[in-house]
Amino acid sequence: MSKESTKSSSFITRAREWQRKWSRGHGWTLEPDRKEVLLSKKEAKEGNNFYSYDFNIIKAVKNPQKFNNMLRSEHIPFNMFIPLDKDKEYFKKIFNEIIGNKIKSIDLLKIEYTPEPSEKYLNDKTSFDAYIEYTSIDNEKCIIGIEVKYTEKGYTPGIKEMNEMNKEKSTYSEVTDNSKTYKDCFKKLKEKFKKNKYRQIWRNHILGESILQKDKAKFKDFISITIYPEGNKHIGDAGKEYVEFLEKKYQYRCQFLTYEKLFKLFEKHCPNEKYKKWIDYMRERYIVN
């Protein structure tokens, strides 16, 4: 086993034990699964994977029962971003620190967002875990696409995706090349982007680039942000390597941020005790001790 795999496996093992401890501490029942930490159907249906003390997060969740896996990240964007959206000045202060004081106002937040019609963009089901529209200090409309990870690493592609990857000319290749953000053309980068290590980062990046290309009269800039725990070395290492594929002037369009750094920003700009309670929950729940 490689050094990277050992580190990643160690984090998954520690996260598994931490989430089991968390669920026991709350008196929750888990499914008998050795590899995953799955809430029972009853616990999942009650929305126990979501912060429930304030902000009415569960109202934004269409089907809480499907969010039963405590080791996967699907539920985390709701816990992470719905509270921010309740106080847009707080939201703005945090993201101005992340992207460099570019934001005049936060205009829209969507969770699990796939731009429609999909054939207009990447012609697949690629989505953002969180999608933000903002007005810049120059009064331009811009977007941020966010991918949230927890224990996940890369993913195995489906048949349709690999068919697109292997085509001489595809939507993926056109968007990649037309973005002008990469040091090399898609043809030279294709073998790298076939690898599980980079594929998710690249797909989320070019989804945003496709919006810029197709809706250029509406949006003037895009930034892709991947948020992950410090212990998930796979994502941290892949991010550092991926940024090197980009032209220097466009490297700001693909950023990587740890939970630990993000939670410090939550705390730095915390407006009141209600948010302090939420920040404490986020740290206790997702930072693996």
Average pLDDT, the chain: 93
Least confident segment among 70-74, 98-102, 168-172, 231-235: 168-172
* Whole-number Å distance between alpha carbons of 12 and 251: 29
* 212-222 mean pLDDT: 97
- Give the pLDDT score at 33: 82
Q: How confident is the model at residue 9 (pLDDT cuts 50, 70, 90)?
A: low
- Give the pLDDT score at 3: 42
Evaluate if residue 270 carries a pLDDT over 50: yes
Evaluate if residue 60 carries a pLDDT over 90: yes
Q: How confident is the model at residue 160 (pLDDT cuts 50, 70, 90)?
A: confident
* Whole-number Å distance between alpha carbons of 269 and 110: 22
Q: How confident is the model at residue 161 (pLDDT cuts 50, 70, 90)?
A: confident
Cα four-point dihedral sign 250, 124, 5, 190: negative
* 193-208 mean pLDDT: 93
- Give the pLDDT score at 22: 93
* 71-79 mean pLDDT: 97
Least confident segment among 21-35, 108-122, 230-244: 21-35
* 72-90 mean pLDDT: 98
